[in-house]
Amino acid sequence: MEVVGVCGSPRVGGNSEQLLDRALGLVAEEGLATGKILLAGKRIEPCTACLKCRKERDGLCHGREDDLTPLFPRLYGAAALLLATPVYFGAATGEMVAFIDRLGYVSRGNGGLLNRKVGAPIVVARRAGQNFTVAQLNYFFLINGMVVPGARYWPVAFGGAKGDVQNDEEGLATVDDLARNVTWLVKLINA
Ligand SMILES: Cc1cc2nc3c(=O)[nH]c(=O)nc-3n(C[C@H](O)[C@H](O)[C@H](O)COP(=O)(O)O)c2cc1C
């Protein structure tokens, strides 16, 4: 029962990853197994709309052979996905969008492999665009039948330079709250 965090920032050790680490740390403290996947440095191509996932129906993406291809079984085996991304021009990064497009399309073409898993976004920006990006990720979770916990605030934080996010006390507290709610929900669903 793994809670897998996926970081969509190309900046290793940046604000999104710092928030994700914080969330995963709390989840681990509360007794669940955790893992982290960085999209940074990986070749994550966009969906080709080849529709082979719907013909093969083996839970894999056959349109691309890249660094995402081998991750599908682990992602579909997870109890929860925490998706962390910075805001790029008011939306999630290109890496994160390519990731969710392919993961979601294969899931939906194979009977709903993400159905009833827990999904939660973590979004950071220097100044604006967090809410739209939270909505973007929540649309992904919801159309895939996933269950999305809330927190004391929308799961957003502020930070521009690497590490700035550590100064956003409310953002950090919100991530903590989200992590605890993810853990609570995963335990409830899998009891
Ligand atoms: C290409 C690009 C686009 C960005 N667009 C936005 C934006 O629309 N709104 C904003 O507030 N910050 C924007 N930023 C700033 C990042 O969201 C911010 O630096 C964030 O902390 C980066 O997170 P990371 O350290 O996880 O990579 C942008 C940065 C880059 C490189």
Ligand 1 touching residue 16 (CB < 6 A): yes
Nearest ligand 1 atom, CA 7:
26
Nearest ligand 1 atom, CA 126:
11
Q: And the tokens for 104?
A: 């979601």
The average pLDDT across 114-139 equals 98
Ligand 1 touching residue 171 (CB < 6 A): no
Q: Which residues contact 88 (CB under 8 A, 6 or more apart)?
A: 94
Question: Domain range for residue 171?
Answer: 2-189
Q: How far is the CA of 88 from the centre of ligand 1 (A)?
A: 5
Ligand 1 touching residue 125 (CB < 6 A): yes
Q: How many domains does the structure of the chain reveal?
A: 1
If one counts every other C-beta atom within 10 angstroms of the C-beta of residue 82, the result is 27
Q: How far is the CA of 48 from the centre of ligand 1 (A)?
A: 27
pTM of the model: 0.98
Instruction: Produce one character per residue of 156-191: b if its CB has 16 or more CB atoms within 10 Å, e if not.
Output: bbbbeeeebbeebeebbebbbbbbbbbbebbeeeee
Ligand 1 touching residue 14 (CB < 6 A): yes
Geometric angle at alpha carbon 132, from 130 and 134, rounded to 5°? 65
Helical ranges in 30-145 per DSSP H:
52-56, 72-77, 94-108, 130-143
The CATH number that applies at residue 67 is 3.40.50.360
Nearest ligand 1 atom, CA 85:
26
> pLDDT of 137-157, one tens digit each?
999 999 999 999 999 999 999
> pLDDT of 64-100, one tens digit each?
899 999 999 999 999 999 999 999 999 999 999 999 9
> pLDDT of 15-66, one tens digit each?
999 999 999 999 999 999 999 999 999 999 999 999 999 999 999 999 889 9
